[in-house]
Structure 1
Amino acid sequence: MICISVNRITASAVLIVVVSFPGALLMLLPLNGRKPELIKHRFSSLVAQVCRDEPLSKEIFPSLNAEFDSHLYAGMLQQCIKSNDPAKGKILHCHALKRGDCFDLFARNILLNLYLKTGLLSDGVKLFDEMPDRNVVSFVTMIQGFALLEEYDKALDLFFRLRKEGHELNPFVFTTILKLLVSMDWVEFGWCIHACIHKLGHDTNAFVGTALIDAYSVCGFVNSAKEVFKGIVEKDMVCWTGMVACYAENDCFEEALDLFNLMRMEALLPNNFTFASVIKACLGLEAVGVGKSVHGCVLKTCYVMDPYVGVSLLDLYTRSGDIEDARQVLRRYLKMMLSHGVS
């Protein structure tokens, strides 16, 4: 096997991977005569896939007499996130420390994300503080972690620290801080953030613009949301849906329907949240007929069984006294649940 001499990868480790992962041999054989870096990269990918299986991962670790690179660690840490397994992530971290292997910044950020997503805040803080270098992703991950646990003041302190250290304020940072400020109900500082976004020209970006629309919607500033919407250069479906939802949530029902009709004229395909918001607007206007037309549009899409749309339709029909249509919607959902074995 060609990998035996590359980066001290042992024959037993290669054998475990090849036996455990169908197709591994076919992936490794074409590498004969290639650069060691390419072989190591391919082998790392295979090990990361095998390590999805806990018994195999316990067998592979002691069998590998190789230099684990950050690519391999990052792949396995991603699997820990997917399986919601912080314990295995800690094992990997300890494994690296004992061997003297170094995580690069990319792998450290993944480990940080794992700790914070699984509620291990103290471990995440310790890792963050001990990082030899940090980037915007490190800070945003920590801010999101604090916000998730409702540690809003600490999250905001990190934002100020990010700015003090001179890191770039990119769209990812702004969308994160806007969500944080909405949770804190800090409207005044939200205006300051919007001014900063405008100064850097990010308010024309659909990603940031939608976050601003959502923030203004929650605060009830419909006109401000409308101005942001107008300024977005390339509006995507999420952006349009955010504005329709803003109108519907703030009782601007006619505006919601008008914007929905404009969407259709622009040949944009509504998603489930768009339909749910428009149906809510129909209920607010007591326009059951229009609601039925929207229901007809829903039936032609993949959202016919979507729970958000279903609840909105049930609300529309029951509140308007249209019990028969409500029953039909309910029957359809019950049939779907039974067909999927949901009790």
Structure 2
Amino acid sequence: MASLAGGSPSMPAQKPPLDPRSVINWQAPWRLKSNHDHPAVKLLKISAGTKNLKFGKIIHAHLLVSNQASENNVVENNTLLNLYAKCGQLSGAQRVFDGMRMRNVVSWGTLMAGYFHAGFCSEVLELSRDMVKVDNLRLNKYVLSTVLSSCAGDGLYCKGQQCHVYAEKSGLIFNQHVKNALVCMYSMCEDVEGAMKVFNGVPGLDIFTYNSLLTALLEHGSLSEALDVFRKLLEADVEWDGASYVGVLGLCACLKDLKLGSQVHSRMLKSGFNSDMFVNCAMIDMYGKCGEITKARKAFGSLKARNVVSWTAILAACLQNECFEEALKLFFEMETDGVRPNEYTFAVLLNSSASLSAVAYGTSLHAHIEKVGYEDFVIVGNALVNMYSRNGDIELAYSVFAKMRSRDPITWNSMISGYSHHGLGKEALTVFRDMLAAEEKPNYVTFIGVLSACGHLGLVEQGFYYLNHSMNMLGIEPGLEHYTCIIGLLGKAGQLDEAENFMRSMPVKWDIVAWRTLLNACHVQWNYHVGMRAAEVILQMDPNDVGTCILLSNMHAKFKRWDGVVKMRKLMRERNIKKEPGLSWTEIRNNTHIFIAGDNKHPESVQIQKKVRELLAEIKPLGYVPDPASALHDVEEEQKVDYLTFHSEKLAIAYALMKTPPNAPIRVIKNLRICDDCHSAAKLISKVTNRLIVIRDANHFHTFRNGICSCADYW
């Protein structure tokens, strides 16, 4: 047999295609050797292992030309099957298979594996049935593992259960490959109980089983079961690998168990896995989710080599710990290092810019994403919808949503909740109906947005229908967030007594947010007595709750009970409860301008205050009358009007009108609840200037257009 290198020193530098005749003496009596030692079989195995289909086809062709290919040679044909299957040439594999007069379990198993790896899981099950019926063969451990994996990949849960029964009857259940495949099948079909039953019922599990089950349980949020698997992993006499550390660190992250995570970190260092990139990324993620951003930074800084996965991990840790600006700065360092972002990187950056309300940065990121071709990734689309929604541009959020080629539950939930936060209940319910029409199953989060939308529209009966019927039909247990939405719904409808009775009669452990929802509704609906009772409950739960103290003081002032205002202010001084100063800010050409009521520190404060006076003069003919009650101070009416004139919202709107093109939308963020007077003024300013004005306050988005607000004057 000639050398595989072939050729001679005198040959040209560019070698001609390899001629199999230079490799093998094709007239040699191959049939005298055993099938497994056959030179053709060996070369076909090499071709399959290296996925060199071209060379394998040459071997196959010469077998056919020299009449040495045999329909009855099972080993040779199985090797050919393996070549075509591994190279993804299913049509070629099927032709070889169909031409075989003699087939064994390996023949069927090889073809099934080819179809499985190509993603044709249903075809694998059909082949397994034909194998039993046509050739009267029994499934072995390898074939059964492939069939189980196909059931998992295609969600064929019932077929997988039948295979489980077969495994128990045949005794294959005790084979390691079969056990692993069963655990994976149940896990991927979201049957945690079934996976745990196999795990606990069959002895002798290996590290792959632990890793697979732990990963699946974490993906499905089954933390108690994952913790049980972890305890058994500690007791088992198996050596951890990199996947084990990734899974266990992921568990620590989900549990936010810093102590356990630190112990795993120590074990990792002793075991020498500190150079594993994926393990290090899992460690960064763990520290980030446990609130230890400093340790996450240290772990990242200790990496000798950094790739896009590690950079994205530290960016995500910054996002989780509200270090949004740092995340954006790190991205510039990442680009300087020459590391290209992936879809997950862009998702983190978009969510960071959403939290900062940095709409200009988010928009530039969107342009960059389109340029590099990542806009079709679902995770990126979801982040874009979230970014535009939270930056007050719900129209652009929907534009992104409408263009997405594929959507997941997060996509639908983001759009529904986005519309709800903007007070657009009708649009939110329309998207919900579209979600049902698309046969996407709603989840726990979906109904928070849906019930919130019902609240904006005051649809009491429909809201209770969703709570008591739709969620029950889908097997979704209502939680505190859903019940709090119901309180908001009853409050919007003016049914405050019913809301209070609902809270006192339901066996729900209400939190401060729920009671404050009722208190806020009482403030809007001018119901002093129910509001006082709600405030009393909140202050019993947290005597130093700043928001409640301020809202209670505002209610006393609204009803001109100045003795109550004085009492609350005295109480706040005694308890050292300080009201957060009201701030409003707007972004102009990538620069953020912050305003405080009566602010004189801005370089253009004189011009801004002049612009405010001009705007108020313009809207007075339309019916604007300063609302002294919004000042909430026990002072003379004239002083209250002066105080109202230069509220931070008005200053920000005026400055944005001065510095933006005539048709550009105005976007303002307020750290507290917008006052009634500024709300009335903003509506009329949007009309006289023909501008879209979006104000995001502590409670809602307010979209002012042509004298109307999206909140329908309820916030």
Under TM normalisation by the shorter chain, which class is it? 0.7 to 0.9
Aligned: 1:27 with 2:27: no
AA aligned opposite 2:348: S
Q: How far does residue 149 in structure 1 lie from its aligned partner after superposition? A: 6.2
1:195 aligned partner: 266
Q: Does 1:240 align with 2:311?
A: yes
Per-residue deviation, 1:218: 1.5
1:209 aligns with 2:280: yes
2:110 is aligned with 1:52: no
- Structure 2: how far apart are the matches of 1:193 and 1:232? 18
1:100, distance to aligned residue in structure 2 (A): 5.4
Tell me the number of residue pairs that the alignment of Structure 1 and Structure 2 aligns.
320
Conserved 8 A contact 2:252-2:261: yes
Q: Give secondary structure in 2 for the equivalent of 1:300.
A: helix
Whether 1:227 and 2:292 are equivalent positions in the alignment is: no
Q: Distance in 2 between matches of 1:80 and 1:23?
A: 25
Secondary structure (helix, strand or coil) at the match of 2:372 reads coil
Distance in 1 separating the partners of 2:222 and 2:194: 15
CA distance in 2, matches of 1:203, 1:144: 20
Distance in 2 (CA, whole Å) between partners of 1:145 and 1:299 is 33
Q: Report the Cα offset of residue 192 of structure 1.
A: 1.1
For the Cα contact (< 8 Å) 1:203–1:228, is it kept in 2?
A: no
Q: 1:305 to 1:104 in 2, by over 3 A?
A: same
CA drift of 1:217 comes to 1.5
* 8 Å contact from structure 1 (residues 205, 234) kept in 2: no
The change in CA–CA distance for 1:162 and 1:319 in structure 2 (over 3 A counts) is closer
Moved more, 21-30 or 289-298: 21-30
Counterpart among 332, 341, 344 of residue 261 in structure 1 = 332
CA distance in 2, matches of 1:277, 1:146: 24
**Equivalent residue, structure 2, for 1:15:** none
The 1-side partners of 2:259 and 2:209 are apart by 27
Q: Secondary structure at the residue paired with 1:204?
A: coil
Deviations 1:37-76 (A, max 9, x none): xx64333122464872466654543444224322211111
Going from structure 1 to structure 2, the CA distance change for 1:4 and 1:65 (only over 3 Å counts) comes to farther
Unmatched tracts of structure 2, length 5 or more: 1-69, 76-89, 407-433, 439-715
Aligned equivalent of 2:399: 331
In the TM superposition, residue 245 of structure 1 has moved relative to its aligned partner by 1.8
Contact kept in structure 1, 2:288 and 2:320, CA below 8 Å: yes
CA drift of 1:145 comes to 5.1
SS in 1 for 2:304: coil
Structure 1 counterpart of 2:323, one-letter code = C
Q: Rg: which structure is higher? A: 2
* CA shift for structure 1 position 5: 8.4
Equivalent-residue separation in structure 2 for 1:107 and 1:81 (angstroms) = 13
**Which segment drifts farther, 309-318 or 244-253?**
309-318
Note if contact 1:67-1:101 (Cα within 8 Å) is conserved in structure 2. no
**Distance change (3 Å), C-alpha of 1:189 and 1:98:** closer
| Structure 1 portions without partners, runs of 5+ | 7-20
Partner of residue 238, structure 2 = 167
Higher relative contact order (CA 8 A, sep 6+): 1
Q: Distance in 1 between matches of 2:331 and 2:180?
A: 40
Partner of residue 202 from structure 2, selected from 131, 149, 152: 131
Counterparts of 1:1-343 in structure 2, within 5 Å, are: 2=71, 23-24=92-93, 26-28=95-97, 40-47=105-112, 49=115, 52-53=122-123, 57-99=128-170, 104-144=175-215, 146-147=217-218, 152-317=223-388, 323=393, 327-328=395-396, 330-336=398-404
How many angstroms apart in 2 are the aligned matches of 1:29 and 1:320?
60
1:79 positional shift: 0.7
Quote how far apart the aligned CAs of 1:241 are: 0.9
**C-alpha separation between the residues in 2 aligned to 1:108 and 1:195?**
31
Q: Partner amino acid for 2:262?
A: W
1:125-172 deviations in Å (ceiling 9; x for gaps): 443344352210122334345556655444334323323332112221
Cα drift, residue 261 of structure 1:
1.0
Contact 1:89 1:114 in 2 (8 A): yes
Q: C-alpha distance in 1, partners of 2:240/2:168?
A: 33
Q: Whole-Å Cα distance in 2 between the matches of residues 153 and 114 of structure 1? A: 20
Alignment-derived partner of residue 13 in structure 1: none
The residue type equivalent to 2:265 in the other structure is: H
Letter in 1 for 2:163: L
| Distance across 2 between alignment mates of 1:272 and 1:202 | 27
Distance 1:316 1:84 in 2: 33
d(CA) in 2 for partners of 1:149, 1:306: 22
Please tell me the residue identity of whatever aligns with 2:320: E
Contact persistence 2:287–2:293 (CA under 8 A): yes
TM-score by length of 1: 0.77
Partner residue in 1 for 2:694: none
Q: Bigger shift: 276-285 or 144-153? A: 144-153
Contact 2:151 2:185 in 1 (8 A): yes
Output the CA distance in 2 between the equivalents of 1:265 and 1:129: 50
Q: CA–CA distance in 2 between the matches of 1:228 and 1:105?
A: 36
Name the CA distance, whole Å, in 2 between partners of 1:320 and 1:51. 43
Q: Residues 243 and 133 of structure 1: is their aligned pair in 2 closer, same or farther, counting only changes over 3 Å?
A: same
**Which residue is 1:11 aligned to?**
none
Give the letter for the 2:367 counterpart.
G
Amino acid at match of 2:399: R
Given that 2:288 and 2:321 are in contact with CA atoms closer than 8 Å, whether structure 1 keeps it comes out as: yes
Deviations 1:280-315, CA, capped at 9 Å, x for gaps: 333455544433332321121222244544454455
Deviation at 1:260, TM superposition (A): 0.7
**Which has the larger displacement, 123-132 or 214-223?**
123-132
CA distance 1:293–1:194, change in 2 (3 Å): same
Q: Is the 8 A contact 1:73 1:103 kept in 2?
A: no
What amino acid is aligned across from residue 61 of structure 1 in structure 2? V
Moved more, 107-116 or 158-167: 158-167
CA distance in 2, matches of 1:122, 1:265: 48
Q: Deviations over 1:209-247 (max 9, x none)?
A: 111111222222111111111222332212211111221
Which amino acid in structure 2 is aligned with residue 46 of structure 1? L
> What's the C-alpha RMSD, in Å, of the aligned pairs?
3.6
Alpha-carbon separation, structure 1, partners of 2:243 and 2:134 = 40
**1:204 maps to amino acid:** S
In structure 2, give the amino acid aligned to 1:42.
S
Q: How far does residue 178 in structure 1 lie from its aligned partner after superposition?
A: 1.8
- Identical amino acids, percent of aligned pairs: 25
Secondary structure at the counterpart of residue 274 of structure 1: helix
SS in 2 for 1:304: coil
State the alpha-carbon separation in 1 of the partners of residues 222 and 350 from structure 2: 36
